[in-house]
Amino acid sequence: MGLRNETHTLNYCGFRSSTHVTLGLYGMRILLVEDDAMLGETLQTALEPQGYTVDWLKDGQQALHAISEQHFDLVILDLGLPRLDGMSVLKAVRAKGISTPILILTARDTLQDKVNGLDAGADDYLLKPFDLDELNARLRALTRRFHGRADTRINYGELILDPQSQQAFFKKQEIILHRREFMLLHQLLENIGKVITRQQLEQSLYGWGEDIESNALEVHIHHLRKKFYPELIKTVRGVGYIIQEFAP
Ligand code: CA
For 146-195, strand residue ranges (E) read 154-156, 159-162, 167-170, 173-175
Q: With 80 as the cut, is the pLDDT of residue 247 above it? A: no
Q: What's the sign of the alpha-carbon dihedral 181, 27, 140, 50?
A: positive
Range of the domain at 199: 154-242
Q: Ligand 1 center to residue 232 CA distance, Å?
A: 44
CA of 9 to the centre of ligand 1 (A): 15
- Residue 123 domain-assigned? yes
Q: Which domain-ending residue is among 114, 146, 178?
A: 146
Q: What is the pLDDT of residues 104-145, one digit of tens each?
A: 998 766 667 777 888 888 888 888 888 888 898 888 888 777
Q: Which of 182, 32, 41, 179 is nearest to 102 (CA)?
A: 32
Q: What is the tens place of the pLDDT at every residue in 2-23? A: 333 222 233 333 333 232 333 3
Residue 87 alpha carbon to ligand 1 centre in Å: 12
Q: Is 160 helix (H, G, I), strand (E, B) or coil?
A: strand
- Kindly state whether residues 105 and 162 are assigned to the same domain: no
Report the C-alpha gap between 192 and 180 in whole angstroms.
18
Q: What is the pTM of this model?
A: 0.59
Distance of alpha carbon 165 from alpha carbon 146, whole angstroms: 20
Boundary of a domain, candidates 114, 129, 146: 146
pLDDT tens digits along 134-147: 898 888 888 777 76
Q: Tell me the pLDDT band of 208, cut-offs 50, 70 and 90.
A: low
Q: Residues 203, 189, 97, 76: is their CA dihedral positive or negative?
A: negative
CATH number for the domain spanning 88: value is 3.40.50.2300
Q: Say yes or no to pLDDT of 221 above 90.
A: yes
Q: Mark whether 169 and 102 lie in a shared domain.
A: no
Ion ligand 1 neighbours (CB, 5 A) are: 1, 35, 78, 80
**111 CB-contact burial (10 Å; exposed 0-12 / middle 13-18 / buried 19+):** exposed
Partners of 154 in the β-ladder: 161
Res. 27 pLDDT band, cuts 50 70 90? low
Task: Provide the domain count of the chain.
Answer: 2
What's 8's DSSP letter? G
**Interval between CA 31 and ligand 1 midpoint (Å):** 15
Domain assignment present for residue 1? The answer is no
Domain boundary among the residues 129, 146, 163 is at: 146
Residue 26 has pLDDT above 80, yes or no: no
Query: Do 21 and 124 share a structural domain?
Result: yes
* 199 has a pLDDT exceeding 80: yes
